[in-house]
Every structure is written in C-alpha cells, then in structure tokens.
Amino acid sequence: MQYNFDEVIDRKGTRCAKYDERIKKFGTEDLIPLWIADMDFKTAQPIIDACKKRAEEGIFGYTSRPDSYFEAVQNWEKERYDWCPDTALMSWSLGVVQSLTAIVRTFSHVDDKILIQSPVYTEFWDIPDMAGRKVLANALVEKEDRWQVDFADFEEKAKEAKIFILCNPHNPLGLVWEKEELQKMIEICHKHHVLVVSDEIHSDLIFHGKKHLRAATVSTLAKETVITCVSLSKTFNLAGLQASTTIFPNQELKKDFDLFWTRMDIHRNNAFSSVAMEAAYREGGEWLSQLLSYLEANLSFVEDFVSREIPKLKVHVPDATYLMLLDCRGLGMNDKELNDFMVHKAKIGLNAGVSFGKEISGFMRLNVACSRKLLEQGLIQLRDAVASL
C-alpha cells in the first residue's frame, strides 16, 4: 500500500513525550518540537492491525514470548544483514538503553572504566556514571568532511577500559562505519581484554547508497566477542512499546545477562510489544522502504534550504539516522545563547550539540522525521530569526 508521510498528525495531548514534555524540556509549549528521536509518522499498517487484533481479544494477562519472535529477528538479520545469529543466543530486553545498562552493571564493577566515543548519544555518558563507573572518552576527529577515529588515543584508552560501547551507526554524527574501522576497533579491544557491545538501534535507517555492517559480522574475532543490541523501535517508531533483542557471541555472556533481569523479576513483555515487533519484522518492509525515501528527501530539503536561505549555518548531512547536525558556530553564540535563540527566537526545539560532547559545541541536532510541511515551517522560523540578528 502507499503510505502518506505528508500527513500532519496532531500529537498534542496524546501522552507523547516529543510534544507533551515541551514545557519540561524547553520551558514553553510555543515551539515546534524537532528534538527527541521520535517520528511523527503513523507506523506500518500491519503493526497497527496486529495491535488492534490483540486489543480486541480483551484479556491482557501474563504474556509469553513465542519462539516465532526470535525467529522473526533471525529472518530480518538474514535478509538485511546477511547474518544468521543463533536464536538460542538472543535475549529479550525492555530496550537497547536498558540492555546497555544491564551489560555495564553485569560485566564491570564500581570504578571500572567504560570507553565511549565523543560526541555520542547522551545515554552513553549517563549509563556508566549512574552505575558508579568512570567514562573514558575517545574523541572523534573531523577530517576531510568526515568524523574519524583517533586510533592512537583509542588504544591508549582501551588499555584502561573494561567495556567499549560502540554506537553503530553513530548518533548524532550519522556515521556509517567502514569495515576496516570496525575491525580495527574490535581488534584493539580484544588485545586489551575489553568487552565490546554494539548499539545498532539506528541500523535500518541508512541513506545515500551506504551499507550498514553489523559489528559482529566483520571478522571471525568479532563473531566470537561482540555483543549486539538491536530493536525496531527506532525503525518503526515503537519506542513506547519497549522491546529489544540482545544477541550474544556465547552462552556464558547470555546467561549472566539474563540473570541480571531475573534478579529484578523482569522476564515477561507487555501484551502488545512482542506482537507489534513481530509484525514489524515480518510485514514492515514495504513501509520502511517508503519511509527511507521520504527521510532522504527531507535531508536533501534541509541541506538545500539552509544553503540558500541561511548561509550563516552549515549542515552535516548524515548517512544514517534521521537526526541532522546544524553547525551554528557562524552565529557567534555560546551554547546557552544558542539554545535560548532556538527556543525563544526561532521557536523550534532542538537538541544542543554540546550535550553529546564538547566536540560539537556550537551545533544543534535537528530531527527531520516529520512532515515536509512542518519541517519547512521550522526552517522558515529559523531563517527569519537569523535574519533578525
């Protein structure tokens, strides 16, 4: 079927964090929210149909997770990533962030060091800190219009680290890692006995002819050592249903991970999450194909609009994710001034780049996963605000 991504859906008052938490996040409701990684599109019809059918059953008791759930994950991996992970090495979790938390708390101790790459999704900073671990940040370096790994620094940091959390593809830089980069990071970690866990939640959202590689598939060593965290929550905008899959290289790691959840008596999913996820895995391909075309066009629209209408700004067009960095350093503002300008002058709610790491101080992160009409209105407001300076 043909999906209408131009449809403008009023999400206000629907318990939607993106809209209904504007006062909490920005101190005002008078802005267009283009921040949190949440799409404004209705999800694929087969998912809606599956949830309706489940709702009509009218009983929402303790819910099992059938083998077909993990088989659906396996089939998706085979078809899209040429990978056939063993379903016996898969574990369910409430979400990728929750999986990362469980891994950090299970496979490291208080005061151990966790290696991340800055700038990066804010939870990568928070998870170790809240667990009493220390963060080691390997700063990514912008060279030749692409952010790259400083491997000398990466290895020095790896010598001290217990776990390396990889963002693959990268949020907020929109990087699709090359095979050689992944191999080298994994080899360094193995050399220094560092456990590698790869957050691949944005892996289905790839553009410009790029190809995502599961970190666990890039070498024999990777297959034997890397923990992979996946979910369709970003792909089909299902984050509110809370479900993800963690894929392990061996039973020993899986057993310890599962024990973490057992100790909290968290082992059953809610009545809708596995139903929705399985429908997405099995029947969501058509919707996803159309979504990717629309998102790629939105990225191009922003790039063209900013270059023509707001030349003081520069755009970094991502090869992955629907999250786009705006380089606002040409406005000559500090980070607080920049955020206030976006909220109170442009009246758009974005994520401050500095919240992901000091390397992108002066940047803002823009979510393009909304109707073209809404996106254009946000950019017009930004253009007019910049023009008034």
Q: What is the pLDDT of residue 266?
A: 86
Q: Which of 370, 333, 378, 377 is nearest to 352 (CA)?
A: 333
Q: What is the pLDDT of residue 111?
A: 97
Joined together, the tokens standing for residue 138 give 């390997």
Token pair 């965290």 is found at 229
If asked whether residues 297 and 260 sit together in one domain, one would say no
DSSP 321: S
What's the structural domain count of the chain? Answer: 2
Query: How many Å separate Cα 296 from the centre of its chain?
Result: 17
306: Cβ–Cβ under 8 A, 6 or more apart, which residues? 313, 314, 315, 326, 379
CA dihedral 254, 255, 260, 263 (to 10 degrees): 150
86 assigned to some structural domain? yes
If asked whether residues 104 and 33 sit together in one domain, one would say no
51 assigned to some structural domain? no
Report the half-sphere exposure of 331 (CA within 13 A, side-chain side). Answer: 27
If asked whether residues 78 and 214 sit together in one domain, one would say yes
If asked whether residues 328 and 379 sit together in one domain, one would say yes
If asked whether residues 92 and 196 sit together in one domain, one would say yes
What is the rounded CA–CA span in Å between residue 47 and residue 44? 6
If asked whether residues 146 and 90 sit together in one domain, one would say yes
Query: How many Å separate Cα 375 from the centre of its chain?
Result: 20
If asked whether residues 94 and 243 sit together in one domain, one would say yes
Q: What is the pLDDT of residue 316?
A: 94
Taking only the tens place, the pLDDT of each residue in 316-370 is 999 999 999 999 999 999 999 999 999 999 999 999 999 999 999 999 999 999 9
10 assigned to some structural domain? no
If asked whether residues 182 and 139 sit together in one domain, one would say yes
| Under 8 Å between Cβ of 40 and 11 | yes
If asked whether residues 210 and 291 sit together in one domain, one would say no
Token pair 């056939």 is found at 84
Q: What is the pLDDT of residue 268?
A: 82
Give the residues of the chain that fall short of pLDDT 70. none
Q: What is the pLDDT of residue 267?
A: 81
344 assigned to some structural domain? yes
What is the rounded CA–CA span in Å between residue 374 and residue 366? 13
If asked whether residues 27 and 89 sit together in one domain, one would say no
52 assigned to some structural domain? no
Of 259, 282, 305, the position where a domain reaches its end is 282
Of 282, 297, 312, the position where a domain reaches its end is 282
Of 254, 282, 310, the position where a domain reaches its end is 282
| Under 8 Å between Cβ of 168 and 174 | no
53 assigned to some structural domain? no
Q: What is the pLDDT of residue 327?
A: 97
The burial of 145, by beta-carbon neighbours within 10 Å (0-12 exposed, 13-18 middle, 19 or more buried), is given as exposed
What is the rounded CA–CA span in Å between residue 161 and residue 65? 35
If asked whether residues 136 and 208 sit together in one domain, one would say yes
80 assigned to some structural domain? yes
**What's 215's domain CATH number?**
3.40.640.10
**What's 309's domain CATH number?**
3.90.1150.10
Q: What is the pLDDT of residue 163?
A: 98
| Under 8 Å between Cβ of 168 and 182 | yes
Letter string b/e over residues 79-118, b meaning 16 or more CB atoms within 10 A of that residue's CB:
eebebebeeebbbbbbbbbbbbbbbbbebbeeebbbbbbb
Query: How many Å separate Cα 192 from the centre of its chain?
Result: 27
Q: What is the pLDDT of residue 51?
A: 97
If asked whether residues 147 and 258 sit together in one domain, one would say yes
Token pair 């969501």 is found at 284
Which domain range does residue 213 map to? 61-282
What is the rounded CA–CA span in Å between residue 107 and residue 249? 14
| Under 8 Å between Cβ of 281 and 238 | no
Q: What is the pLDDT of residue 194?
A: 98
What is the crossing angle of helices 251-263 and 96-107, to 10°?
Answer: 100
| Under 8 Å between Cβ of 140 and 161 | no
| CA-to-CA dists, residue 105 to 111, 256, 348, angstroms | 11, 11, 37
190 assigned to some structural domain? yes
